[in-house]
Amino acid sequence: MIKRPRLVHFLCLQTENNLSLRASLSLSSKAIFDLFNPENLKQLLPTKPIESLGLLRSRHFRLKLIAYGEDENAVITREIDSDEFGNFSLRIPLEKNKYKIKRVLLYETLCHPGVELLIGSFIPQYLASPFKILITDFDKTLVDTKYSSARELMTSLRNPVNYFPIVENSVLLVKKYIEKDFHPFVVSASPHFYENAIRDWLYQHGLFTSNIYLKDYRSIFALFAGDLSPKDLKNQGFYKLNQIVSILLMTGMPQELVLIGDGFESDTLIYLALSSVILDRADPWMVWNSLKEEEAFKLTNQQHSRFLSKFHQLKNLINRNQKTNIKIYIRCKKEMIQKWEERKLPFDYLNKLKKHVTFYEG
């Protein structure tokens, strides 16, 4: 069959001030996922990560975006080129409350010059203030995955995610907040080609979200492109904090923010560092200058300059908006809860924010 550009993932959000798009394309002879028909997944075998290894290939694409208002007139037309991995990120400023986007049409225009290939028609998620956001980790938080050895890695590649034990308390916690109208996002250090398998698992467990952020391994090994480097195979601090800040810059500051992670990695440190900027209006340079010495946050000079700029953008966004309430949940083994509650973090400005953290058994 002829391969054509198809979506790997897609997210389109409209706030009062911006229309934001995040997407990724890949060449495929079949649809990579059925974004709006989760019922179909009940009749299909869960996807195995190894089935998506084709997503390791790189290619440039070009998207043409046409946004239609409620009167069905085209109000925005843009063309945007992807990076070398087929990823797109676009934020279009809007005049506040001038119009609400009813639907967005996407066309790919680079693969076959002179031909506009329809990618799809989408309804943006609309975040009207005040809104609430939930950001959760996946591995060791929702699913008790194991990737420590080469054998465990091969096992995870060859099996669907439901091969690993579910963390019931975490899933129930996420569902509880979704029922309270929180918009859910998943930020995980799993490789980007796990996305189909993770989405299958989320849908099968009643967590219907396409807002999945994974680590693009092509970026790690690229010589001249990408935000990541080989040291980010092991260190997760910079990657996760960078992704969470990107989400908040896209959505704007919510009225309530819930962060869910685990005690096996650096999630507590990441979430409290973010909270120090949002709640205590801490200087981003001070926070980042202290974090970069930690093992989980080792970074390159390029990462330092790029992220510090984003961190300051977040601070400016906070200054223009209402106070955000933050709640942090960290999953632990029962015997580790007291140890984590009593643990002293490396910086005083983080320790005084531990009152926002709940350690729970899972």
Is pLDDT above 80 for 156?
no
The predicted model scores a pTM of 0.86
What is the average pLDDT value for the chain, to the nearest integer? 84
Place of tokens 């009207």: 128
Sheet order of strands, 256-262 included: 212-215, 182-191, 132-136, 256-262, 325-332, 357-361
Sheet order of strands, 125-126 included: 87-93, 18-28, 4-14, 125-126
**Confidence grade of residue 294 (pLDDT, cut at 50, 70, 90):** confident
Which carries the bigger pLDDT value, residue 63 or residue 312?
63
**Which domains are assigned to the chain?**
4-126 (2.60.40.10), 132-361 (3.40.50)
**Confidence grade of residue 190 (pLDDT, cut at 50, 70, 90):** confident
Q: Tokens for 271?
A: 């979430």
Which carries the bigger pLDDT value, residue 85 or residue 357?
357
Is pLDDT above 60 for 161?
yes
Q: Tokens for 6?
A: 């198809």
Instruction: Name which of 135, 230, 126, 123 is nearest 177 in CA terms.
Output: 135
User: According to the model, what pLDDT value does residue 17 have?
Assistant: 85
User: According to the model, what pLDDT value does residue 266 have?
Assistant: 86
User: According to the model, what pLDDT value does residue 339 have?
Assistant: 86
User: According to the model, what pLDDT value does residue 292 have?
Assistant: 76
User: What would the pLDDT profile of 268-289 be if each residue is shown by its tens digit?
Assistant: 999 999 999 999 999 988 988 8
User: What would the pLDDT profile of 92-151 be if each residue is shown by its tens digit?
Assistant: 998 866 778 999 999 999 988 889 999 999 999 999 888 999 999 999 999 998 766 667
User: According to the model, what pLDDT value does residue 354 have?
Assistant: 92
Distance CA(191)–CA(232), nearest Å, equals 11
User: According to the model, what pLDDT value does residue 227 have?
Assistant: 65
User: According to the model, what pLDDT value does residue 228 have?
Assistant: 56
User: What would the pLDDT profile of 72-92 be if each residue is shown by its tens digit?
Assistant: 899 999 999 998 888 999 999
